[in-house]
Structure 1
Amino acid sequence: MKKITLIAFVLFIGLVKSQAQVKVSPGLRGGLNVSTLTNIDDNRSKTDFYIGGLVNIKFNKYFSLQPELTYSRQGDEGREYFGNGYNYRYVNYELNYLTVGAVAKFNIGGKGFHILGGPSLDFKIDDNYINSSPENFDLAIVGGVGYTLPNGLTFEARIKQGLIDIYGYDGINNDDNYYYNDVILNQVFQIGISYTFKVK
């Protein structure tokens, strides 16, 4: 009985110490979006920005979990035809989201360089589409690399891949009598910085 009590006590002390090592730091993030939509002919990437907040939960020097709330301006540049139908110009098609996500960050060797990955649930705030109505939400997967300085400043590059067909095109075009089922997904390359505040 004494041995069981001793083992339980040692495990309890170890648990308390491990919990005491957890550090929670709020922060801000922002940067550049280079976004596009897949499977659309003759479209181009659109450049815009993202900005938001984060909470970095550092369990040890190797691993942390980072919930994030971000305003992300996405979309693409598409052709708009006018006149006789042969003239066109490129216009910005906007898909603006409020994204709720969390990334797991793995620090290589416990140092500043890290890899990251995690899910993102995106709620559409607005868009400027006239002839179509994109879905009101998207589910995405995020992956990337980064480097954190000792002062809490982090530089990151990420790829965000949408998983939901934002138009839901799947059917038959009665005018031309052909089937179409191209999946149109959000795709975003992000490069930016973040800063976590030290909390005593």
Structure 2
Amino acid sequence: MKKITVIVFVLFIGIITSTAQVTVSPGLRGGLNLSTLTNIDDNRSKADFYIGGLVNIKFNKYFSLQPEITYSRQGDEGREFFGNGYSDRYVNYELNYLTLGAVAKFNIGGKGFHILGGPSFDLKISDNYINSNPENFDLAIVGGVGYTLPNGLTFEARLKQGLIDIYGYDGVDNDNGYRYNDFILNQVFQIGISYTFKVK
């Protein structure tokens, strides 16, 4: 009985100690989006922005989990389409999302430099497409690197790869005999900064 009591006590102390090391810091993030859509001929990357909030949950000096909510302006520059074909004029095609994500951050050697990765669920809130109707949501994988200063300021570069065909194509149009095997996916390169507030 004494041994069980000692074991329970040690486990209890361990839990309390580990919990005491967890810090939760809210913050803000924003930066530049360079977005495009894959497998579209003659399109270009589109420059826009993202902005949002985060909560950094730091378990120890090596690992933290960061839930995020972000307004992200994406899409691409594509050639304008008319009934008789494409024009030579490029226009901005906008796909604007509210993204809900969570990235795991691994601090190399417990220092400021880190690698990160995680999922993102994106809800479309607007677009300017006329001849098509993009899907209302996307799933994406995020990966990147960053560096955090002691004052809470972080510089990051990320690649965000969509996983869902934004047009929901099934691959074959049997009525017209047209086959489209290439998925059209969101792809975004992000460069930005974030700042976490110290909570006492």
Q: TM-score range by the shorter chain?
A: over 0.9
> Quick check: 2:79–2:86 contact (8 Å CA) kept in 1?
no
State the 1:164 CA deviation: 0.4
State the 1:126 CA deviation: 0.3
Partner of 2:172: 171
Aligned in 2, Cα 1:46/1:173: closer, same or farther, shift over 3 Å? Answer: farther
Instruction: Provide TM-score, normalisation by structure 2.
Output: 0.96
> Quick check: 1:173–1:180 contact (8 Å CA) kept in 2?
no
Partner of 1:196: 196
State the 1:81 CA deviation: 4.5
CA distance in 2: counterparts of 1:174 and 1:69, whole angstroms: 42
Aligned positions of 1:113-192 closer than 5 A: 113-169=113-169, 170-172=171-173, 174-175=175-176, 177-192=177-192
SS at match of 2:167: coil
Aligned positions of 1:9-20 closer than 5 A: 9-20=9-20
State the 1:139 CA deviation: 0.2
Residues 128-187 of structure 1, C-alpha deviation per residue, up to 9 Å, x if partnerless? 000000000000000000000000000000000000011012222745x33222200000
State the 1:6 CA deviation: 0.8
> Quick check: 1:38–1:187 contact (8 Å CA) kept in 2?
yes
CA distance in 1: counterparts of 2:21 and 2:96, whole angstroms: 38
Structure 1: any 5+ residue segments left out of the alignment? Answer: none
CA distance in 1: counterparts of 2:82 and 2:133, whole angstroms: 21
| Paired positions, count | 199
Instruction: Provide TM-score, normalisation by structure 1.
Output: 0.96
Q: Which amino acid aligns with 1:25?
A: S
Partner of 1:103: 103
RMSD (Å) for aligned C-alpha atoms: 1.4
Partner of 1:30: 30
